[in-house]
Amino acid sequence: MADGRQLLYFDDSEPYASGAATRELRDTRDLPPVASTSTMRYDVLTGEWVALAAHRMTRTFMPPADLCPLCPARPGRPAGEVPAGDYDVVVFENRFPSYAGAGTELAREPAGLVDGEALWPVRPAVGRTEVVCFTADHDATFADLPVERVRTVVEAWADRTAELSALDGVGQVFPFENRGVEIGVTLQHPHGQIYAYPTATPRTAALLRQAEAHRRATGGSLLRDVLDAERRAGTRVVLSGEAWTAYVPAAARWPVEVHLAPHRDVPDLAALDGAERDELAVVYSELLARLDRCFEGVQRLPYISGWHQAPVGEGRELGRLHLQAFSVMRSPGRLKYLAGSESGMGAWVNDTTPERIADRLREVAS
């Protein structure tokens, strides 16, 4: 790109798959270099690292459709992030990254202290953040995509997982999609992101602690045993194929929540074989379609859908690939707000039961 960022096309149709339509394209914008000022400070009260990315305050926010920077280049409209006149799937580095510098000297920069106090270590927020455009169609949703295009997205996720995991300074890779203004999206074009974190995230760290305790107590794999138990019970399973099962977790936190896991033990998307990727495209399409039918009168359910993958280094053997998709909507027009108990104390209260969620997701099957 004009400012040195990397852009990658993942195509399944001609003239794009051969590169004929994109090989000679150049980003001709006059852009200054990306300047990431992200740092991470250690929270001594929780043991977690908090990223500070003040430069993101000026990022693009909800432009009209004719100024969308994720749409393909077209005559008569300002140049955006994708120089091609059309595309299937495209991935590029975020211009306003939360994490940056993975694979560079920044990954080896020593940590310091805030105000010289030993209680407050600080270090660069090393990592990488990428944008994944699922389609050139501004008005589409992921659930609208044909299965063949979803399969291309799966390939992009797997490719980027492998590439980012190999970068110096990366500890975990998280592909995800935020959809809906209720979630806080800043661009309406159908897209997701991939965060490459410098360490395992707090959620993953907690899971690894539980998995290690489970292994010591039973000798088993926690995530494997959870999947097997859900399949045995069947009460919360919403769909199942040869290689994948989707279920509502027994302790679901959200009014709409579903997990999707492969039957084979794999650490991440890059480890899936061809048949597993093929079925994933079908199963995931159906799952998103059911989410959109979950509430009558709601055409596009706001949701977060993210792939939990094993960390790159320590604890990798305890991780296992699975998707978590959930919505903050508890009924049409009503949101599940994280108020005092959830936000202040982390003590969750769900407004329904996992069994009711599963019943509904089975009722709206295609």
C-beta neighbour count of 182 within 10 angstroms: 15
DSSP string covering 63-125, please? Answer: --GGG-TTSBP-TTS---SB-SSS-SEEEEE-SS-SSEETTSGGGGPPPEEGGG-TT-EEEE-
Q: Is 263 a catalytic residue?
A: no
> Quick check: 89 and 134 in contact, CB under 8 A?
yes
Which of 191, 259, 308, 322 is catalytic? The answer is 191
Q: What are phi and psi of 68, to 5 degrees?
A: -65, 125
Long-range contacts of 213-219 (CB under 8 A, 24+ apart): 215/318
C-beta neighbour count of 317 within 10 angstroms: 14
> Quick check: 235 and 248 in contact, CB under 8 A?
no
Please report, as a single letter, which amino acid is at residue 15: P
Distance CA 169, CA 104 (A): 8
Distance CA 311, CA 181 (A): 30
Burial per residue of 259-275, b for 16 or more beta-carbon CB atoms within 10 angstroms, e otherwise: bbbbbeebbbbbbbeee
Please report the sign of the dihedral spanned by the C-alpha atoms of residue 136, residue 137, residue 141, residue 142. Answer: negative
The residues that are catalytic are 191
